[in-house]
Structure 1
Amino acid sequence: MTKKRILFVVNPVSGGKKKTAFNKQVLEVLDLSRFEPTFKTTNHVNHAFELAQQAIDEKYDAVIAVGGDGTINEIGSALAGTDTPLGIIPEGSGNGLALYLGIPMNESAALRRINRFDSVAVDCAKVGDERFFNIAGMGFDASVSDKFANETFRGPVGYLRTVINVLSNYKPKKYRFTIDGKSYEREAFMISVANSPQYGNNAYIAPNASITDGLLDVCIVHKFPLYTLPMMIFHLFNKTADQSEYVEIIPGKHIIIEQEGKDPVHLDGEPKDLGQRIEIEVMEKALNIIC
């Protein structure tokens, strides 16, 4: 039987975790009678995308993202529209997509999922030449992502510290939307366009979102009094954000959002400069994910 060739793309800085023993663990857990692993480490922005493209050209049977949602985004963007599946070993600060898919946070358990080699076809979203698979956003959470990208202190604690710092002086902004041809205007604290329900760390902004329904959920978080912040956080972690009076969710396939300035937009947690007008379309069943 010919072994399946698998490329592990390791982000050495994701989640603030050291991964020096990862290769050894793969060799202990992966079924080496069926799989032939290769390891490559990223060392610059978009390197994971480049390595995944090379893997397609070199006819690898799967590419495994060893990192967080940003690493998954780069590799998934290369693999979308191909038959090459993406595997995930969650090593990020939030791991939103992996948590939603039920992929274990434990490395050995996640590797055993790779051994099963079962996959599901999922939707992704297209933003010009960019893609996202979990959540895109603008406003407050994009400002957090932009600041967090430049922090040296990573991991969930570092992320929480960044959230608190940005929250202290953030002001809501005005947006214009066109969702499947219908127009809206809103002043919002933040906008999340959700393919899956959660940001990560089990914080659910769009409890009813699904990565296989051909829709995106546009979640508009309106300005809210600061004293209601504990209840907003409760809703996030209790999967009831849609029940908050300050949250409006509009599903759609074709979304245009216009912002007043040129503030950053995040795609799967990675800040991007996409200008004032952002056009988003669903790509149905575009990527196979091993889960």
Structure 2
Amino acid sequence: MFGFIVNRESGNGYGKKVWSQVESTVVKRNIKYVVRFTERPMHAKEIVAELLEKDVETIIVIGGDGTIHEVVNGLVYKNVSLGIIPAGSGNDFARCLGVPLAYEKALERIFENRPQQVDLLNLGERYSLTVAGIGFDGQVAKNVNEALYKKYLNFFRLGSLSYAISVLDTLRTYKPTNMQITVDGKKLDFADVWLAAAANTTTYGGGIKISPLSSHTDGKLDICVVHGLRRGKLIRLLPKAFKGKHISAKEVTLLKGEDIYISSDPPVLVQSDGEQVKQTPLHITVEKRALTLV
């Protein structure tokens, strides 16, 4: 039996439209299912606990990265697979997994039932699917989630532009900081850090390839540190990140490991899967093969 968790508000109401079409297909195929709708922040995780008691074999999320983030935190190491039908503004995890953005094709992928086990980031208080962004990224996530323009862009299915607009807005006032990053016991000091991204997947922010060498199945996390450059050069560097070409710059340092500790002076914001989660210091480890996806 399928268990659907639907965020009707995702993508400024797009989730509701997608569910209407998906439900029609499921009914036509005589597939047994149960559906629950999210009503508040962190409700999706509560719904997961309920569905796990209903003998569901697959929990399918119709929503964006934030909703998927909540569901994953209830499914870690559970014997139930996760299906994704993207209906958000960024849909980064779907992109990284090769999940089609068109709901019809995403549903067919789930019907094919080809499970794979993937890694997650463990942030201590929660798990993450894609990237934990520290510093500039954290501030951008805060700004974009509070911005009025996000709703209007979502209405026209242009939600990925929200992140780009917030980047430009945040650039005006954000100041870099000093960070100490410890990877598998090795300490490194970085001055004037704009951002550090601990990545399990290649992209975030609606398709920015912040860590183009990352893999969600290799048992490692990749860390991209952007540091030691002036604001003007950062502005010129950022467009290259959409194709992953920023990593060749001398001001970009790439690290790889399983256990990461990041501190900064002063503390800076941290975002995960597009949601603001905390401030530094931050301890991150990789959870290998912690989630089954179809």
Q: State the TM-score, normalized to the length of structure 2.
A: 0.90
Q: 2:17 aligns with which of 21, 39, 60?
A: 21
Q: CA deviation at 1:126?
A: 0.9
Name 2:70's counterpart in structure 1: 74
Identity %: 30
Q: Number of matched residues?
A: 285
Q: What is the match of residue 205 of structure 1?
A: 210
Name the CA shift for 1:85/1:111 in 2 (closer, same or farther; >3 Å): same
- Show the 5 A alignment for 1:215-230: 215-229=220-234
Give the aligned CA root-mean-square deviation in angstroms.
Answer: 1.8
Selected match of 1:142 from 138, 143, 146: 138
| Conservation of the 8 A alpha-carbon contact between 1:30 and 1:111 | no
3-state SS of 2:282 partner:
strand
Q: 2:182 aligns with which of 171, 178, 181?
A: 178
Residue of structure 1 equivalent to 2:255:
250
Residue 293 of structure 2 corresponds to residue 289 of structure 1: yes
Q: Normalized per residue, which structure has more helix?
A: 2
| 1:23–1:39 CA contact under 8 A, matched in 2 | no
When structure 1 is superposed on structure 2, of 137-146 and 222-231 the one drifting more is 222-231
Distance 2:243 2:114 in 1: 30
What residue ranges of structure 1 are gaps of 5+ in the alignment? Answer: none
**Of 119, 122, 126, which residue of structure 2 is paired with 1:126?**
122
Q: What does the per-residue CA deviation read over 1:142-195, in whole Å, with 9 as the maximum and x for residues that have no partner?
A: 001112222233222333322221111111011111100100111210110000
The CA deviation at 1:113 is 1.0
Distance in structure 2 (CA, Å) of the matches to 1:110 and 1:278: 34
Distance 1:130 1:28 in 2: 34
For residues 186-219 of structure 1, the C-alpha deviation after alignment (integer angstroms, 9 at most, x for no partner) is: 1210110000011143311111100000000111
CA distance in 1 between partners of 2:235 and 2:277 (Å): 29
Contact 1:171 1:189 in 2 (8 A): yes
**Contact 1:257 1:277 survives alignment (8 Å):** yes
Match of 2:155 in 1: none
Superposed displacement of residue 105, structure 1: 0.7
Q: Which whole-Å CA distance do the structure 2 matches of 1:34 and 1:120 have between them? A: 26
The worse-fitting range, judged by mean Cα deviation, of 222-231 and 149-158 is: 222-231
Report the Cα offset of residue 32 of structure 1: 5.4
- 8 Å CA contact 1:132, 1:267 repeated in 2: yes
Give the letter aligned to residue 228 of structure 1.
Answer: K
TM-score calculated relative to the size of structure 1: 0.91
Match of 1:193 among 171, 190, 198: 198
Is the Cα–Cα contact under 8 Å of residues 144 and 163 in structure 1 kept in the other structure? yes
- Aligned equivalent of 2:57, options 61, 72, 79: 61
Q: Which residue number corresponds to residue 277 of structure 1?
A: 281
Contact 2:209 2:244 in 1 (8 A): yes
SS of alignment partner, residue 110 of structure 2: helix
**CA offset at residue 264 of structure 1?**
2.3
Query: Conserved in 1, the CA contact under 8 Å of 2:18 and 2:62?
Result: no
1:55 Cα offset (Å):
1.4
Partner Cα distance (2:33, 2:9) in 1: 21
Of 233, 236, 245, the residue aligned with 2:238 is 233
Task: For residues 241-282 of structure 1, give each alpha carbon's deviation from its aligned partner in whole angstroms, at most 9, with x where no partner exists.
Answer: 321222111001001111223432111110012x43211111
What SS class does the counterpart of residue 15 from structure 2 fall into? coil
Matching residue's letter, 1:269: G
Contact 1:135–1:194 (CA<8 Å) still a contact in 2? yes
Moved over 4 A (4+): 31-34
| Offset at residue 231 of structure 1 (A) | 4.2
